[in-house]
Chain A
Amino acid sequence: MEKRAIFQGRLLPFALVAPQLAVTLVFFYWPASQAVWQSFLQEDAFGLSSEFVGFANYRDLFAKADYYRTIGTTAFFSALVTALSLSIALFLAVQADRQLKGGTAYRTLLIWPYAVAPAVAGVLWFFMFQPSLGLVSQGLRGLGFTWNPLLDSTDAMALVVMAATWKQVSYNFLFFLAGLQAIPKSVIEAAAIDGARPVRRFWTIVFPLLSPTTFYLFVVNVVYVFFDTFGIIDATTAGGPAKATETLVYKVYSDGRVGGDLGGSAAQSVILMVIVIALTAVQFRFIERKVQY
């Protein structure tokens, strides 16, 4: 069958695609091109004078050891948050999928944190773990542990990882639960009759059937830790102590918005964009092959 037979001429298909294209152009390509253009400029905050400096902003970035460290911090942070939030959510979803008394209440409680804004979540965690007044830190001190995210970089990293993970678990949970409930019970029952133990049933039947969900969540989570966690970092540690919790997106924010260095910040966001595009491409190219739809 010839595809053109569906639409007479070109006008109608273009007209139908146009709104979507317009939205993408206005909300993605236009700002992205602005960022690219800005990354070649050096400007004062008010935009009173600007100078084309070519790749100077990029050269500045890559000449600094700081920037590589921030890349390392981001890689560590995102790997940890993604792994933790996916595995914790999966574990909780499997538990919630069982026929339990009061299961609905349990599910609702797990979904709630998703309604909390990242900055609010950050502040909440900041209060609980504030070294001197925080409830959790006081408890830890009572147990003989010293907890000081203001000066100890490991403590600070632990704090932002916990807060960022906690924030994302609900979202992942929701998708995992939906995925689990879509798996036909008969398949699992058949396996049980064949004598497969629960753990084996999970890894050989349930988990492979969940792979599209897992893959989707994996992509979404990576994007989340790369872009959406700066509110949490800002509220809990502000990138400190001594840059130990500064991720790429937080650096974009602090250099551009706090520091007024628009050119440098734009260069960073272009690099960040390239990294995320590359990561997503790799995910779809290599990991998606293992996904069974």
Chain B
Amino acid sequence: MTTVKPLILAAAFSFAASAAQAQVELQWWHAMTGANNDVIVKLAEEFNASQKDYKVVPSYKGSYADTLNAGIAAYRAGNAPHIMQVFEVGTATMMAAKGAIMPVQTMMKDAGESFDPKSYLPAITGYYSTVKGEMLSFPFNSSSMVMWVNRDALRKAGLNPDQPPKTWPEVFEAAKKLKAAGYATCGVSTAWTTWANIEQLGAWHNVPLATRANGMDGFDTVLQINAPLYVKHLETLVALQKDKTFDYSGRTNTGEGRFTSGECPLFLTSSAFYGNVKANAKFDYSNAPMPYYPDVPGAPQNSIIGGASLWVMGGKPAAEYKGVAKFFTFLSDTDRQAKLHTESGYLPITKAAYEKVKTSGFYDKNPLLETALKELTNKEPTENSRGLRFGGMVQMRDVWSEEIEAALAGKKSAKEALDAAVARGNEMLRKFEQTATR
């Protein structure tokens, strides 16, 4: 009796183990909350139901920065997830981590999945590809920056809401009229300070942020964000901050509520703000492309993306990569992408999905959802508008923000602030170059 029992138990265990082994679990770490979290869970469930060999397990790991740090810590502990969602400014960090990551294009090829980088929107894939055009990560949730417009406010100020201001001078003029019409504390504002007033500004005007194609061509990049365009823009904002025609709303998106509450009638932030506006704005709203300076030749160029992509971590068995590859093929499916885009407001990542939604006439009723796409595909991306790749970008954004804050508070001139932003940023880039290229 005493010898039989363990045998039965052992048999039971080995049976359970073999049943579990048949299905390969794939860990997917992400930073999506609320409705976006539901999208992720739903996608994983659909994929798991569609086949029997693999099981995608999504887990929420906190903010984008937290997720990145959790992934790095897990990698150092030898326990990295298969798929990690990394926001666009973490791209250089991931790219420099050769050996820690598995290039998506290589993985798809090895796994025998059909994969054509050209079927994805170039404005999106450019951000996540090497100079040679090899896609390193898989685009997932992408957005861009647009100007949100309170149509009721424009009407109140005697402006035509169907013709929102197109250029920066027009925006400032409109902001002054809005201020006179009762929007005294904020005519126009931006969230994501550096994304709006440095990064997108550069791409949209085809002006470099840094040498070496904004860092895409190498780590030995030198910042140029103290060029005349940036100085002029910041100088104007500083002047308008004095009477709150422009009013600063913080470094991240915590100030977005100023638009939905009706305080700021013109507000530049992510196109992914759509869900929030839809849920909270109690006024007639729309959005428009980012403004530009008409005296800059060729402006507007094209905008750059925000959001995140999916990185595959290195050092996993081939069988598991096969599952990840299958999952990515599943995600790229045209119908699925079209549905994802129209339901969540994320940009479609493939050309086919974009075409499908376009021909379905969806944008005629929902022009808001096309604004960001039109900006991204406005012109063929150039060296200055393909994307950015700076090591330590998360912290560098803070440094740039600090200098902008110093200028807006009147402690430094715009030129001094941007010179300091360049000097401090270059120092960080050199430090990154030192650790990344060893």
Contacts and interface: CB of A to CB of B under 8 A. Distances in A.
Contact of B435 (A49, A238, A241): A49
Interface in A125-161: 130, 132-133, 150-153
B257 interface: yes
A210 to B, nearest CB: 42
A6 to B, nearest CB: 45
Given A44-B436, A47-B76, A51-B438, A152 B409 contact: yes
Contacts of B254: 130
A132 B241 CA distance: 14
Nearest to B185: A132
Nearest to A42: B435
A258 B263 CA distance: 32
Interface stretch (B7-15, B157-165, B203-211, B392-400): B392-400
B310 interface: no
Interface stretch (B24-32, B93-101, B354-362): B93-101
A103 interface: no
Given A132-B258, A259-B394, A241 B69 contact: no
B14 to A, nearest CB: 37
B199 interface: no
Given A132-B258, A151-B409, A46 B395 contact: no
Given A240-B405, A259-B392, 8 more contacts: A43-B435, A46-B76, A47-B75, A130-B254, A133-B257, A241-B402, A241-B405, A261-B431
B91 to A, nearest CB: 13
A257 interface: yes
A49 B398 contact: no
A45 B405 contact: no
Interface string B235-262: 0000001000001111100110110010
A52 B255 CA distance: 43
A242 interface: yes
Interface of B: 65, 69, 72, 75-76, 93, 96-100, 185-186, 241, 247-251, 254-255, 257-258, 261, 263, 392, 394-395, 398, 401-403, 405-406, 408-409, 411, 428, 431, 434-436, 438
A45 B395 contact: no
9 contacts: A44-B96, A45-B72, A132-B185, A133-B257, A151-B241, A151-B408, A240-B405, A258-B65, A258-B395
Interface string A231-275: 000000011111100000000001101111100000000000000
Given A132-B185, A133-B258, A152-B409, A258 B398 contact: yes
B184 to A, nearest CB: 10
A48 interface: yes
Nearest to B71: A46
Contacts of A238: 251, 398
A293 B389 CA distance: 62
A258 B394 contact: yes
Interface of A: 42-49, 51, 130, 132-133, 150-153, 238-243, 254-255, 257-261
Given A152-B409, A255-B395, A46 B72 contact: yes
A130 B263 CA distance: 13
B317 to A, nearest CB: 20
A14 B409 CA distance: 61
B28 to A, nearest CB: 19
A255 B402 CA distance: 14
Nearest to A45: B72
Contacts of A130: 254
A51 B438 CA distance: 9
B57 to A, nearest CB: 23
Contacts of B258: 132-133
Most buried by B among A42, A46, A49, A241: A46
Nearest to A49: B438
Contacts of B408: 151
B279 to A, nearest CB: 16
Nearest to B410: A151
A130 B247 CA distance: 13
A179 B98 CA distance: 60
A259 B403 contact: no
B84 to A, nearest CB: 12
A216 B48 CA distance: 58
A261 B396 CA distance: 12
B206 to A, nearest CB: 30
A151 B248 CA distance: 8
A150 B395 contact: no
B248 to A, nearest CB: 6
Contacts of B185: 132
